Structure 1
């Protein structure tokens, strides 16, 4: 199990709460429990045997959702739920049939059946376009963390990846969630056919498909080219405007460009690295930071769980840490849909992943990893032990942003480690089982 140490007692308390809370949300395979529980049927419709799984969605519903699952998958892996991740992904992949237009079913009971509140039939079930692509992206992420060849070789998963990036028309009807919407922002009432969050998620799905193809022994260049062309088209044609308030974040079904603040379809554009680096991207990050704290801020706590990921991606460490604290500090407040904010699974799962992927900057790869400290100035040092990577575990410690220690706690796995530092060359080394290596930023004292 992962353990944390830090000069920041606040960080330690946050991680320990999130770890304990998320672990209470898991289901062992073979356990029994109710199905089709929702706000209208609090007792459900009966009992069934559960798959290895965990809550990913409202705590008052007996299931897991595509959007939540995609955002929780790294936290779940870090907490020892790799089997559940693969099992749940297979549920989504298997449901993306021609009858469903190759869209995955939006929500499942813990036994693998469709959650009835979100599924009325093959022509009427909840569809949100970004999730189609995020499932492909996160499959690639899970493969890099686990090294499990099932993510590359499983025929059901592979069929899903290919259909998601080749068969689905990347436009929505704008007629509501049961007919298909373009954005995770369900409440705006904008009737979007295309949205920044679906375009950004498709961009990352192409990149993931390129990497997964290469891991399978295929040429992934076609998907890499699709990704590059989509990013070019977005920046040169789809989303023009230098002023953040004028940057296009979507198009209506009538082809009218939509600008201004759009919550998910705003912050997903930099979250998915869709906006080219430079002044426009930096200004838009400032815009997101201000809007998310302003009068049009989201009402639901789970929306805020994306903001640390967005700012960590762009090395805005202080802002990312501030939003992590915002989420954690409101865990005991009422959630807009009932219960407490801390009951919403994304809160705990993403805080776990944001410590490891975010603050510690651990990026996995097969037989390898990179690190880059994102510690803000008010956290002098932080260390997490027992991080599961491939066939072993590691401990990562950062002292500020200029010294990193990697300890290989595996029995027979050697890792290729690329230690990165702000404004300095990376240092590459091999760390054998049982060994530790301390790397300081070039030009800094050891």
Structure 2
């Protein structure tokens, strides 16, 4: 994990042998993937096996968990668990995700300035490398918002209403979006004038420095960084997610209140972070008043968070960021690169997305064993290549093929979505076969790239619809699948 503590001995391993390092001997998932691209198939096999090797069966005091930190840290971190959660869900680790998210929710309090524990270990304790006491610990401030953003994503994928209704989670959401924002001066009206030494209680003797609340995921943020653009992006995403969580709880009035905050922060994003003369986003504001923009190398500013947190509307802005990462591909570190395949898939750079996945899994990648890497590859293949997304409220899943040529194919089976398991096979971008293998009736939105007046459902000509997705036209048709139903949507008659 990049963002934890490289200067604080991140390679250390627990020497306590009282608790055996038990991992799953048998896979908790029957998920499979195969394709005409042998390298992608091999990438899936490696990523699935590697990810499951990090899964622990509940024998530890912390309960069900999987590793989401530096290798051998025996812990899970707020940023990493947020990024790994959907991949874990696809691997069948619902109970693990819920337990781990709940652990962060249970440990937020006023004594820690409305922070939680940045990293929790297998002993159900804050990882010692990150934490001395409730007044002295490492913390990246986007973390609370990342957890909320992904709790909403987990609800959408699973339909698990506990993400809406659990009182401890509700408390975490509320404290984070109210007291936490105010206490750390993170709103747009205060954030540019905030004191970077805010709430420092242990100064000269702290191994975490005198700027505990780091307003970015950029690791250089402990020094002379005043603010990172990912701080703003994470706040916008969390306001949007929280507004939706409140609406789904039936709390429409409060949900509308937080929707209005989204608009305020979006305005700040474009007024402050967008450089009108250079026509690009700034990424880091320093104490000196100077900015950095797109950054690669060891000190990388995270413009990809604008896309990960889905806060940009202008497709040209999105394309510019995608192009910049594509042009600097070989200079990207693993943690940053592990965010990119799905962003490449969603924005038409399919060959580069495939290359990124293969590169991340390669034995030549000396850091491929980071847990974050293998878990996210599962998500990239599922949501990226196969284009599968889920919306719990409407009991709907969507598929969208991102296969490079019409002669190629990709197939994934036993994908858990809501209370179902489905199978999806794409033949190029012109034909998708989907089966509701298990579960109640569910709606399927089949997307086919391009503008088509008609599609074919099981060989029968049907009138379809069109929409714009990331600047590209797709045609789509919605159909209900009962259990065991298999249906084909295609451009040509069968």
> Secondary structure at the residue paired with 2:483?
coil
Q: Partner residue of 1:241?
A: 276
Q: Partner residue of 2:76?
A: 64
Q: Partner residue of 2:372?
A: 346
> Secondary structure at the residue paired with 2:219?
coil
Q: Partner residue of 1:287?
A: 324
Alignment deviations for residues 330-380 of structure 1 (CA, whole Å, 9 cap, x no partner): x4543xxxxxx2321011101111110111111111121112122234981
Separation of aligned partners in 2, 1:379 and 1:127? 49
Superposition pairs for residues 82-101 of structure 1, below 5 Å? 82-101=94-113
**Given the alignment of the two structures, is residue 431 of structure 1 paired with residue 460 of structure 2, yes or no?**
no
Question: Cα distance, 1:157 vs. partner?
Answer: 0.5
Question: Cα distance, 1:54 vs. partner?
Answer: 0.5
Q: Partner residue of 2:247?
A: 214
Q: Partner residue of 1:226?
A: 261
Q: Partner residue of 2:465?
A: none
Question: Cα distance, 1:215 vs. partner?
Answer: 1.6
Q: Partner residue of 1:105?
A: 117
Q: Partner residue of 2:413?
A: 385
C-alpha root-mean-square deviation of aligned residues, in Å?
A: 2.3
**Given the alignment of the two structures, is residue 361 of structure 1 paired with residue 387 of structure 2, yes or no?**
yes
Q: Contact between 2:214 and 2:221, CA under 8 Å: does it hold in 1? A: no
Q: Partner residue of 1:261?
A: 295
Separation of aligned partners in 2, 1:197 and 1:376? 32
Determine which of 168, 172, 176 is the counterpart of 1:156: 168
Alignment deviations for residues 243-298 of structure 1 (CA, whole Å, 9 cap, x no partner): 46x521132345444324263422212332333323333223212222343xxx24
Q: Partner residue of 2:127?
A: 115
Q: Partner residue of 1:46?
A: none
Separation of aligned partners in 2, 1:436 and 1:279? 39
Q: Partner residue of 1:42?
A: none
Structure showing greater radius of gyration is 2
Q: Contact between 2:359 and 2:365, CA under 8 Å: does it hold in 1? A: no
User: What TM-score does the superposition give when structure 2 sets the normalisation length?
Assistant: 0.78
Question: Cα distance, 1:151 vs. partner?
Answer: 0.3
Q: Contact between 2:62 and 2:124, CA under 8 Å: does it hold in 1? A: yes
**Matched length:** 414
1:404–1:54: structure 2 CA closer, same or farther, 3 Å change rule? same
Question: Cα distance, 1:303 vs. partner?
Answer: 2.5
Determine which of 447, 454, 464 is the counterpart of 1:420: 447
1:106–1:132: structure 2 CA closer, same or farther, 3 Å change rule? same
> Secondary structure at the residue paired with 1:349?
helix
Alignment deviations for residues 222-250 of structure 1 (CA, whole Å, 9 cap, x no partner): 33332233223312343223646x52113
Q: Contact between 1:242 and 1:280, CA under 8 Å: does it hold in 2? A: no
Q: Partner residue of 1:133?
A: 145
Separation of aligned partners in 1, 2:110 and 2:249? 24
Q: Partner residue of 1:43?
A: none
**Unaligned stretches of 5+ residues in structure 1:** 33-48, 335-340
**Given the alignment of the two structures, is residue 195 of structure 1 paired with residue 228 of structure 2, yes or no?**
yes
Question: Cα distance, 1:28 vs. partner?
Answer: 0.8
Question: Cα distance, 1:403 vs. partner?
Answer: 1.8
**Unaligned stretches of 5+ residues in structure 2:** 1-29, 198-207, 450-472
1:182–1:83: structure 2 CA closer, same or farther, 3 Å change rule? same
User: What TM-score does the superposition give when structure 1 sets the normalisation length?
Assistant: 0.86
> Secondary structure at the residue paired with 1:393?
strand
1:260–1:72: structure 2 CA closer, same or farther, 3 Å change rule? closer
Separation of aligned partners in 1, 2:234 and 2:404? 28
> Secondary structure at the residue paired with 2:303?
helix
Alignment deviations for residues 105-147 of structure 1 (CA, whole Å, 9 cap, x no partner): 1100123211111011112211112222110011011111111
Separation of aligned partners in 2, 1:11 and 1:70? 24
